[in-house]
Amino acid sequence: MVDMLIKMFENSTDAIFFFDANGKALALNPAAEQIIDKDVVTQLRQGEFQAMCQACRGYTSDTELQTCLSCYFSHNSDPEDFSSFQVYLETEGKGVLPYAATFHTIDPENGVRVFMLRDLTKQFKTQERLYENKMMKHVIEAQENEQKRISRELHDSVAQELLSAVVDLRVVKYMTQDQDVLDKVRQTEATMTRLLDDIRNLSVELRPAALDDFGLEAAFRSHFKRVEQSYGLEVEFKSDIGTRRFGNEIETVVYRICQEAVLNAVKYAQVDSVKVTLTVETQFLKLRVEDKGAGFEKGDDPIGTGLGLHGMRERAELVHGDLTVQTKIGKGTAVQLSIPIGQDRTGGKAK
């Protein structure tokens, strides 16, 4: 048993210190020596009083993030207050880092106390990333909801009012024989008709109703038809998902990434056609957008709609997806997205 305890002390990844009742270091394990400045380690080994204070930058109390008030080394401190707490230490080469700490007496008769530390850096980074993802989800959700509201407002209000005005202009043409007036009415009618088309297109670009009502395949077919009409780019689209639905968040991510990839091809690839494939394979929803165009150097980031490659990857990560971009100058570009759907990790099974 003693051998096992010695091995645990020597091989533990947690830093372990033993102190007497006066704050003098009795022993410290290799993990403890690795995190603290060598000068402080020397002072500890020489038994200098309160040498640990040279490395400590305070602990987290109920009222402050970092404080030295009622120090855990104080004789009058309640041991229960420091059975589990957070402390900040100046480390060797890594600056000030947070540690999960425990400080308690293990030999009341001789006043021997143990101070144990566990590095919280990895946990903090995980929590920070989780917080960032949650915030990003809320921002994107709010953005999509606002775009949906504006889209419906444009379609149901502005577009309808314009359509009503166009109808009125057509009636006016039968109310006069003045050629100058007729020419002006026809000119105004043509302008308002183009404006009506622009507003309808803008409404769809903001948030296509087909995506919410009918799903990805229907939304893609509608979108690619507009792309062909607007830019003359032929989109060869293949899909095996039919009317299958995957949840609002996944569908929005897939649609926006595809929209960005196709628009990048329109602006930068210098091609007449693009291939888009949307399939379900072994519990994964997979999207591939491929062109045989100009390609680009890795590290460049086509501007597109402003989403960019970094934004595309961030969106993919929100639904636990994996985005890869294969490209080579003169050989084209392929954007591939894979999202797990067997068990929807954002809350329940895929629809």
Kindly report the CA angle at 194 between 189 and 199, in degrees rounded to 5? 120
Residues 36 and 105 in one domain: yes
Higher pLDDT, 300 or 258: 258
Residue 336 per-residue DSSP state: E
CA distance 191 to 266: 27
Token pair in block for residue 125 = 């980074």
Which residue, of 69, 93, 119, is where some domain finishes?
A: 119
Q: Are 333 and 297 in contact (CB under 8 A)?
A: no
pLDDT per residue as tens digits for the range 277-323: 999 998 999 999 999 988 887 665 554 444 578 888 888 988 999 99
* Domain coverage including residue 323: 215-351
Q: Is 85 found in the same domain as 163?
A: no
- Per-range mean pLDDT, top range of 22-31, 79-88, 167-176, 249-258: 249-258
The dihedral region occupied by 41, where left means phi > 0, alpha psi between -120 and 50, and beta the remainder, is alpha
Position 273 scores a pLDDT of 94
Same domain, 61 and 161: no
Q: Which of 187, 207, 227 represents a domain boundary (last residue)?
A: 207
The answer on 230 and 140 residing in a single domain is: no
Interatomic CA distance for residues 142 and 127, integer angstroms: 22
User: Within 13 Å, how many C-alpha atoms sit on residue 62's CB side?
Assistant: 3
Picking from 74, 36, 72, 71, the residue whose alpha carbon sits closest to that of residue 55 is: 36
Q: Is the pLDDT of residue 5 over 80?
A: no
| One-letter amino acid for residue 11 of the chain | N
Number of domains composing the chain:
3
Min mean pLDDT across 59-68, 190-199, 203-212, 303-312 is at: 303-312
**Nearest to residue 346, comparing CAs of 311, 316, 312?**
316
- 223 and 196 share a domain? no
| Contact status, residue 351 vs residue 292, Cβ threshold 8 Å | no
Residues 227, 308 within the same domain: yes
pLDDT score for 305: 45
CA distance 154 to 144: 15
HSE (CB half, 13 Å, CA atoms) of 194?
Answer: 5
What is the end-to-end Cα distance of the chain in Å, rounded? 56
Residue 172 and residue 152: Cα distance in Å, rounded? 29
pLDDT-above-70 percentage for the chain = 92
- pLDDT tens figures, 50-63: 788 888 888 888 78
3-class SS shares of the chain: helix, strand, coil, % to 5: 50, 25, 30
pLDDT in tens, 218-256: 999 999 998 998 889 999 999 999 999 998 899 999 999
Please tell me the distance from the alpha carbon of residue 155 to that of residue 164, in angstroms, as a whole number: 13
Q: How far is the C-alpha of 189 from the C-alpha of 22, rounded, in Å?
A: 93
Same domain, residue pair 132 and 63: no
Q: What is the pLDDT of residue 255?
A: 94
- Matching residue, tokens 């409404």: 203
* pLDDT tens for each residue of 84-141: 888 999 888 888 888 999 998 888 888 888 999 988 888 878 888 888 878 877 888 8
CATH number, domain containing residue 78:
3.30.450.20
Check residues 156 and 13 and name the one with the higher pLDDT: 13
Give the range among 43-47, 79-83, 90-94, 193-197 with minimum mean pLDDT: 79-83
Confidence category of residue 347, pLDDT binned at 50, 70, 90? very low
What is the reported pLDDT for 148? 78
Mean pLDDT value across the chain: 84
What is the structure's pLDDT at 131? 82
What is the spatial distance between Cα 285 and Cα 336, in angstroms, rounded to a whole number? 11
Domain endpoint, select from 119, 137, 168: 119
Residue 178: pLDDT band by 50, 70, 90 thresholds?
A: confident
Q: Are 151 and 281 found together in one domain? A: no
Provide the 8-state DSSP code for 13. Answer: S
pLDDT score of 348 more than 50: no
Task: Enumerate the β-bridge partners of residue 75.
Answer: none
pLDDT tops 60 at residue 346 = no
On whether both 148 and 95 belong to a single domain, the answer is no
Residues 247 and 319 in one domain: yes
Residue with tokens 């420091």: 82
Q: Do 94 and 165 sit in the same domain of this protein?
A: no
Residue-level pLDDT at 300:
56
Question: CA 199, 200, 204, 210: dihedral to nearest 10 degrees?
Answer: 160
Residue 62 DSSP code:
S
CB-based contacts of 250: which residues, under 8 Å, 6+ apart?
Answer: 285, 319, 339, 341, 344, 346, 350
**CATH code of the domain covering residue 239:** 3.30.565.10
